[in-house]
Structure 1
Amino acid sequence: MSSVFRFAGLAAALLLAGCQQVNTTSGGAVGVERKQYMFSMLSSQQVDQMYSQSYQKTLTDATSAGKLDNDSSDAKRVKAIAARLIPQTGAFRQDAPGWDWQVNVIKSDELNANCGPGGKIIFYSGLIDQLKLTDDEIAAVMGHEIAHALREHGREAMSKAYGVQMATQLGGLAGLGQDSLQLANTGVEYLMTLPNSRQNENEADLIGLELAARGGYNPNAALTLWEKMGQAGGEKPPELLSTHPADATRMANLQAAIPKVMPLYEQAKAGK
């Protein structure tokens, strides 16, 4: 057996030994039921606190640079959409509507948005303006990012990193040379980290689709959103080496899930 696979096996064993198996969310209409391995000494509260500090620094830096946007039409749209989506998080986690949610827009050409652990949302104006996003498409982005927070994908990634770090330390003690350790680390990244990242992206797509539908936003907008993102993204690495699903894979998964959430959208629209 090569050092890469021995190391990967060691990392996986350590990860399993130090983790507890949990399911952070209910499955919802889209049926996301995967059990997750979380490092038992890394609590949700610790991760939330760590991210909150980083989030506040981002806001402070944006304020100092005159980039924090509280009053523009973009900011008002984002906050109004968040106000409709956040209550829907209870369909996946009973505790989530009570999180310390924060929603901010930063003036930047960056085509990006995120929702960190604990419900800290940032949208960059470039994403909205350059792609000319509709409210439904903004909801698709926001639902996707909120889903990462609901599923605690950040904590899950940190748990895996701990397993790799522990294996690296023990691998050095076991006599693996530096070249072997570097190769083994690469193997672990491809065998463990990247595939799970793509899986996490798919989960966020599906849960985000349902959150948007429950909030009264057309789930078909997820398709037009990713079409726009694909046109803006330029060349991408092969799916095997990417943390994001290939465009064709993503679109196929979304199209298959839309019929599951369309009744929720119609119900939300009827209730307005």
Structure 2
Amino acid sequence: MMKKSLLALAISSACCVPALVTAQDHEPQDGVKVGKMSMMRKLGNLGGNLDQQAATQYMQTMKDAEQKRALAPDNHPQVIRLRAIAKKLIPFALPWNDRAAEWKWEVNLLGSTQINAYCMPGGKIAFYTGILDTLKLTDDEVAIVMGHEIAHALREHGAERAGKSLATNILVKGAALFAEYKGYNGQAVAGAGGVVANLSMLKFSRDDETEADIVGLDIAARAGYDPRAGVALWQKMGIVNKKAPPKWLSTHPAGTDRINEIRKHFPEVMPLYAKAKDVDLSTLPPYRSNVKGVPEVK
């Protein structure tokens, strides 16, 4: 009975964080709707420290890559391609975050077999050659990846996670102290609370990934890139990433879940894409990728 009480106390403490999500922000009148950003991002980026740290880290990463001759030069065809796609996306990213208009956007390419890309706070974008070469990304698929990563920065997910982690740690420690005050084992409460907190943070991360998928689709569609490329992208990912961790222990939703979520938002984003291409929605042909075995997306 005492163990159940301790676990209940830890769970109630660790799960209080989501209730603090009340901050106001902007999103376009049409297109996708994802709701308000979390107040936790303000806690995680007090004084703008996270933005400064991100800029410093990005600069150091690029410097290290240059020393190792892994930083692609400005005249590299893939760098030119990535920057051209970013140039189209960025104007449609700005309405999602007032601060984005002041960011010093950068796009660079790193020579690595990693299937990865990211956008740090402040608009610092990096792609790895591994994601371009292994997945043989089309321009539409690059735009989906880039839009997703930009969305993480726009929605300030890094600061949000930092704030939630800080708040959760405070709550768990507070629960442990309260348990000791009541004569219980504070370490047991802290341990149970820590487990619950870690699982909660995984859930937060999966939610962030889903939100970035949706916002990224919206941005890409407005810029004239086919949102249906998101389905082909995750089908390609499924081919090269067959040994994924169990969904509930992963910071990323399962590929099938992401595909279903993307399809669910086609009614919101496909009209944006048709408008950007200046064509009637009903006349759009299916999306065809460039890899055998990836079916066309209607």
1:43 aligns with 2:46: yes
Larger Rg: 2
Matches within 5 A, 1:247-258: 247-258=255-266
Equivalent residues of 2:114, 2:130 under 8 A apart: yes
* Offset, 1:117: 1.1
Distance 2:47 2:104 in 1: 13
51-60 or 167-176, which deviates more? 167-176
* 1:227 corresponds to: 235
After superposition, the CA RMSD in angstroms is 2.2
Aligned residue for 1:194? Answer: 202
Paired position in structure 2 for 1:93: 97
Tell whether 2:145 aligns with 1:141: yes
* Structure 2 partner of 1:263: 271
Query: Residue 54 in 1 paired to residue 63 in 2?
Result: no
CA distance in 2, matches of 1:198, 1:21: 19
2 CA distance for matches of 1:145 and 1:151?
A: 10
Question: CA 1:179–1:64 in 2, change beyond 3 Å: closer, same or farther?
Answer: farther
Contact kept in structure 1, 2:51 and 2:122, CA below 8 Å = yes
Q: TM-score, normalised by structure 2?
A: 0.82
* Distance 1:212-1:20 versus aligned 2 partners, 3 A rule: closer
Percent identical among aligned pairs is 38
Contact map agreement 1:88 1:211 (CA 8 A) in 2:
yes
Equivalent in the alignment of 1:26: 27
Report SS of the residue matched to 1:114.
Answer: strand
Q: Deviations over 1:18-70 (max 9, x none)?
A: x6731444165111114423165433722211211111111111111111112
2:77 is the alignment partner of 1:73: yes
Q: Is the 8 A contact 1:21 1:38 kept in 2?
A: no
- Greater mean deviation of Cα atoms: 221-230 or 258-267: 258-267
Say whether the 8 Å CA contact 1:24–1:151 is kept in structure 2. Answer: no
Higher strand fraction: Structure 1 or Structure 2? Answer: 1
SS at match of 1:149: helix
Indicate which of 150, 163, 170 corresponds to 1:159: 163
In 1, Cα distance between the equivalents of 2:274 and 2:47? Answer: 34
Checking the alignment, whether the CA contact within 8 Å between 1:4 and 1:185 is kept in structure 2 is no
Q: Report the counterpart of residue 128 of structure 1 in structure 2.
A: 132
Q: Secondary structure at the match of 2:40?
A: strand
User: When the two structures are aligned, how many residues end up with a matched partner?
Assistant: 268
Q: Residue 184 of structure 1 corresponds to which residue in structure 2?
A: 193
2:56 and 2:11 map into 1 onto residues whose CA distance is 33
> Structure 1: any 5+ residue segments left out of the alignment?
none
Q: For the Cα contact (< 8 Å) 1:90–1:96, is it kept in 2? A: yes
Whether contact under 8 Å (2:13, 2:193) holds in the other structure is no
Show the counterpart of 2:245.
237
CA distance in 1, matches of 2:209, 2:146: 13
Cα drift, residue 171 of structure 1:
4.0
Q: Look up the equivalent residue of 1:195 and give its one-letter code.
A: K
SS in 1 for 2:161: helix
CA contact (8 A) 1:12 1:163 kept: no
User: Which segments of 5 or more consecutive residues in structure 2 lack a partner in the other structure?
Assistant: 280-298
Measure the CA separation in 1 of the matches of 2:47 and 2:211: 19
Distance 1:77 1:107, change over 3 A: same
Q: Secondary structure in 2 aligned to 1:123? A: strand
Whether the 8 Å CA contact 1:219–1:261 is kept in 2: the answer is yes
Q: Any idea what the Cα deviations from partners look like across 1:81-115, whole Å, max 9, x if unmatched?
A: 11111111123234323311111110100000001
Instruction: Give the distance between the partners of 1:134 and 1:244, measured in 2 at CA.
Output: 23
Q: Please state how far the C-alpha of 1:239 moved relative to its aligned partner.
A: 1.9
Letter in 1 for 2:192: L
- Give the alignment partner of residue 10 of structure 1, picking from 13, 24, 35: 13
